[in-house]
Structures are given as C-alpha cells and as structure tokens.
Amino acid sequence: MKPLPVFVRCLAVALLCTLSIAPASAQVKKVTISQAFQSLLYLPLYIAIDNGLFAKQGLEVAKETAGGPSTALAAVISGSAQYSLHGPEWPAIAASKGAPVQIVANCVNGAAVWIATTPDYKFTSVKDLKGETIVTGQMPTTSTSLFFKLLKENGMDGEKDVRTLQVPLGTEIGAFLAGQAKVAVLYEPNLDQAVAKGMKVVLGFPKLYGAYAFSAITARTDVDPDTTQRFVNGLEAALRSIRTDPAGAIAIAKKEFPTLDAAVVEAAVKRMIADNVYPPSVDITPAALKVSMDTQIALGNLAAQPVYDKFIATTYIRKALETK
C-alpha cells in the first residue's frame, strides 16, 4: 500500500483535530450573574471566575454589578441574567408574592456583621449600648436588621433605646472614623479598615448565630438544569479551594479589590475564613435558612418561613457535593 501524500495526511490530522475540538466548544454555555455589589463577601464567585473553575464546567460567566439586591433579583426575574447573588430574603419575599424564583447554591453562610467601638469604649454586654448613637447602614440591609434583632433579643427597642445614624452602605466607616459615633455596625472590609485605625471589635454575629444563610445564588425555577448544575459545581469547587488554598483566595481578593489596602484585604479574608463566613460547600441546611428568615419575619419583612424543599433547589446542591 502506498503512503498517503503529505498534504492528504495533514488534512486528515487537521480534520480529526477539528472534530475533537468542535463538540467541546459547542458545549460552552454563556451565562450572566448579577451581583448586588462588588463585595469581599462574594469572594467564592470571584475565585470560580478568575481561577477558571466555571470554565472547567464548560461555562463562560459574565459578572454584572447591579448596585443593589432588588435590582440584581429583577435581572433574574426578567431573564436578563440567569443568576443573581445577594441575601436570600429577597427571593424569599419575591417567591411569597408569586415570583418563580429559587435558591440554587450557598455562597455566604455566616452572619457577616460585626460591632466595633472606639478603643476607649467600655463594652461588657449589648445592654451597654442603651442611649448610644450607632452608625449603621441604611435600611433595608442585613447588618442593621441583625442589629435591631440583637437589641430585641436583649429587651431593647431599636427605635427607642438607641439612636441609629443610618448611612449609605459602604460609608459607615467614614462616619465612624469621623467621630460621629463611638459604635458602628460594620461589614468587611470596613471592619478591618476600622481595626487598622485602632478601633476594636467587641461582637461578631457569625459566632453569635452560627450557620446563617447570608448570601446565596438565586435563579428562576425554569432555569436550564444542565447549565445550573455546571454553575453550582464550579462554585462548589471554589468554596473547597478557600479551605485548601487560603493564600490563593487572598490573592484573588487582592486582585478584585486593587484600591483597598492589601493588608486590610488579607485581614478581612482571614477573619471571614476563621469565622466560617465562607461555607465549606454550597449546601444550605434547613436550620441555616430558618435562622436567616427568622430575622426577616421578626422585622415584618416576611410573613412566614419559605417551604425549604420548594425554595431551596437541593438537587443541584446534592449533585455538586458528590463531585470529586
């Protein structure tokens, strides 16, 4: 048998390569996630994007920043985004009014809020705050909601027993450091920015409440199942990597927040890892959902607990947990 001409052999090889590549390329799916804010809390999402963990699942993920949770959720409901990232109370409220939305994965599983004071402030218990001016974020926001819930649990009224200086989210640190109050309720990285200026942390909600569904991935109930499973698998890989490679997680955080002091970013991420703010997996337990929704029920934002099996899409979570 005569050997094939060189050009024929090259053509055959090229054709085989094309055929082998084409199916994989055809399987890549483009999706959009609308995040409420660019936040250190959402680090698992950034890790999944920046480290190619979604890409390994055959996804091309575009991240959009909505500027608020209601706007991010609206993008999902309208179909302009497949997924959104924010507190689960927003889809819970929407679902209670008939919106076709569900939670498909966990992202932040600790009540990521802390109370800080000036270094000279004497704090022994929550009741020490009576009569004080407290810097907080503008309602509705989880940090202020949790603070009011804490006061209520200690026999105090958030409107009568303290004065809250409510400012736009992310600006709490400015009012606090300017001396407008000796106490502030803060998210990260504001918290470690305050610590870097000599302020002290007196109470952490993550340790106070334990597992708490704080921020999660929302999707429509008619979202494509295959795409969603890939997305949840990628996020699961990102959450695992935070535990196995914390230095890598910190590096991604510094990349995503280049204008923040690198030392503050590192301290904030380490604190959230230590306080279990970043969950070990995408799983959301009934107890974690309940304690989160109880806050909203206590504040009158939600009439009743959502039905867990209808609100949490456990099929995606269960399959993601089984991945190697």
For 37-62, what is each residue's pLDDT tens digit?
A: 999 999 999 999 999 999 999 999 99
Q: Is residue 17 part of a domain?
A: no
Question: pTM value?
Answer: 0.87
Is the same domain home to 163 and 298? no
Is the same domain home to 97 and 123? no
Q: Which of 175, 209, 243 is the last residue of a domain?
A: 209
pLDDT digits (tens, 9 = 90+) for 125-182: 999 999 999 999 988 778 898 999 999 999 999 889 999 999 988 899 999 999 999 9
Is the same domain home to 223 and 101? yes
Query: For the CA atoms of 296, 48, 112, 109, what is the dihedral angle to 10 degrees?
Result: 60
Residue 112: CA count within 13 A, CB half-sphere: 30
Which CATH number belongs to the domain containing residue 283 in this structure? Answer: 3.40.190.10
Give the bridge partners for 19, in sequence order: none
Contacts (Cβ under 8 Å, ≥6 apart) of 190: 170, 172, 173, 184
Is the same domain home to 314 and 199? no
Q: What integer best gives the mean pLDDT of the chain?
A: 91
Number of domains in the chain: 2
Reported as a pLDDT band with limits 50, 70 and 90, residue 27 is: confident
Contacts (Cβ under 8 Å, ≥6 apart) of 78: none
Residue 18 has pLDDT above 50, yes or no: no
Is the same domain home to 223 and 105? yes
Predicted pLDDT at 36: 93
Is the same domain home to 241 and 156? no
How many angstroms separate the CA atoms of 63 and 234, rounded? 14
Q: What percent of the chain has pLDDT over 90?
A: 85
Is the same domain home to 188 and 161? yes
Residue 2 has pLDDT above 70, yes or no: no
Predicted pLDDT at 25: 41
- Structural contact between residues 24 and 74, judged by C-beta atoms closer than 8 angstroms: no
Is the same domain home to 99 and 156? no
pLDDT digits (tens, 9 = 90+) for 70-95: 999 999 999 999 999 999 999 999 99
Predicted pLDDT at 295: 86
pLDDT digits (tens, 9 = 90+) for 191-211: 999 999 999 999 999 999 999
Is the same domain home to 100 and 123? no
Residue 9 has pLDDT above 50, yes or no: no
Is the same domain home to 219 and 85? yes
Contacts (Cβ under 8 Å, ≥6 apart) of 63: 32, 33, 35, 45, 49
Q: Is residue 201 part of a domain?
A: yes
Q: Which of 209, 241, 257 is the last residue of a domain?
A: 209
Is the same domain home to 172 and 261? no
How many angstroms separate the CA atoms of 54 and 61, rounded? 7
Q: Which of 193, 209, 225 is the last residue of a domain?
A: 209
Is the same domain home to 138 and 285? no
